[in-house]
Structures are given as structure tokens and as C-alpha cells.
Amino acid sequence: MTSDSNSTEPESANTHIEPLLDEYEYAAITGRSVASARRDRLLGIGCPYVKLGARVLYRPADVGTYIERNPRSTQDGPVTRRPVFRKGSRFLKLLVDENLAPELAADLADRFPGSIHVSSAELGSTPDAVIWKYAKAHGFTFLTKDKDFASLSIAWGAPPKVILLQTGNFSTGKIERLVRDNVIRFADFENDTRRSLLILK
């Protein structure tokens, strides 16, 4: 691995490490562009980062310290101070539909704590209206591939909010990656009171 004065080695696999931020999440938090973040790394300046293979990741604590020490960006204008926790949402929890793998809820728990699969709530093969009421009563956002729930969302509005995956025959791994790549969109969607439906392709 090529050494870099501004990069740090990942901690031991035996040490607990909180989920890291990718460069897109880092850019969203700091109010800077991804291009500027990449330029900073080339110049050896800016926020410390971790390299895991080809991936560039940031520790939330390092990002928080960087924002505190750099209230204004010298390249992208003023930085809007935002909550450092944007790697997911402590408030958005997913109810995963039966047309998605049960393990998906557990795999995404680090980003969306409290998420469960419908089977865990004994809602398998249950009418849509019953699942809808359960999600609403328990504060879930519903993750599904079923277009019927999109229709319910349009007709009834939120809550609950609905995230419709139009992913064809994606494997569970690809769906997990899609969700992880869109955590910022999920958080923005959750906070937007005007929207009840988010479609991911």
C-alpha cells in the first residue's frame, strides 16, 4: 500500500470500529464537492481518511473535528454545519417486505438500527393493508419491490413512507449495496414531510 501523510491505516479487525463514511457522505456533511475532497487527498490536506483497498473512508469523529477546525472552506465557500451522523439515520428504521431476503434487515442494521423483516413481525403472507397499519403504528419506513405499496403511498400518503426498489433480479448483496449507496437520499427523504414515496432503480 502506498503511504500517504494524510491517510491512516485501518484499525485491527479485532477492534470495534464504528461505521465509516464514504466520500459522498463526507462531501454531503461538509458541504464540499467530491472533486474537492479528492483534490485535498492528492495535495495531502483536509480531513484524515482511511484506505481500505480501493475505497476511501472517513471516521465520523475526524470529520467532526475537521468541521470544528475549518468553519469555512477555502475552496468551496462557506461550510454549512450539519449533523455528523449522516451515514444513515438513527430515526429511520426499515420494515423489509417479504419479497426481499430476511437477512437484509440485519445486514443494514448498522445504518438503520431497529430495522426488521416482516417475517420477524409474523406478517408473512399478510394483506397489504395489515402490513401498512403495522408499519404506521410502529414508525417504520417500508422497503419493498411491490408496486402495490407505491400505489397505497400515492393514495394514502405517509406515514408510513415507502421506498420502492425497481431492481429486477438484483441479488441481496446488490440490493444492500444500493441501499448503502443511497443512505443520504434516505435521510433526506425521511426528513422531507412533503414526500411519501422514494423509488430506487
Clarify whether residues 98 and 190 are in a common domain.
yes
Q: How many domains does the chain have?
A: 2
Structure confidence at residue 180 (pLDDT): 86
Contacts of 190 (CB under 8 A, 6+ apart): 89, 91, 92, 141, 161
Burial (CB < 10 A; 0-12, 13-18, 19+), residue 5, is: exposed
Structure confidence at residue 15 (pLDDT): 45
Clarify whether residues 115 and 184 are in a common domain.
yes
Q: Which domain holds residue 57?
A: 7-78
> Does residue 88 belong to any structural domain of this protein?
no
DSSP-assigned states of every residue in 33-85 = -HHHHHHHHHHT-SS-EEEETTEEEE-HHHHHHHHHH-SEETTTEEPPP--S-
pTM of the model: 0.57
> Does residue 35 belong to any structural domain of this protein?
yes
> Does residue 86 belong to any structural domain of this protein?
no
Clarify whether residues 69 and 97 are in a common domain.
no
Clarify whether residues 100 and 41 are in a common domain.
no
Of residues 94, 93, 107, 128, the one with CA closest to residue 171: 107
> Does residue 53 belong to any structural domain of this protein?
yes
Q: Is the separation of the CB atoms in 184 and 176 below 8 Å?
A: no
Residue for grid cell 430506487? 200
Clarify whether residues 138 and 184 are in a common domain.
yes
Clarify whether residues 152 and 97 are in a common domain.
yes
Clarify whether residues 131 and 180 are in a common domain.
yes
Mean pLDDT by 10 residues, the chain (201 residues): 50 54 81 83 87 87 79 46 42 89 90 90 89 93 92 90 91 90 82 86 83
Structure confidence at residue 78 (pLDDT): 44
Structure confidence at residue 14 (pLDDT): 46
Instruction: Find the distance separating the first CA and the last CA of the chain, reported in whole Å.
Output: 35
Distance CA 11, CA 184 (A): 25
Clarify whether residues 103 and 74 are in a common domain.
no
Clarify whether residues 105 and 157 are in a common domain.
yes
| Cis preceding linkage at 102, omega within 30 | no
> Quick one: cell of 146?
411491490
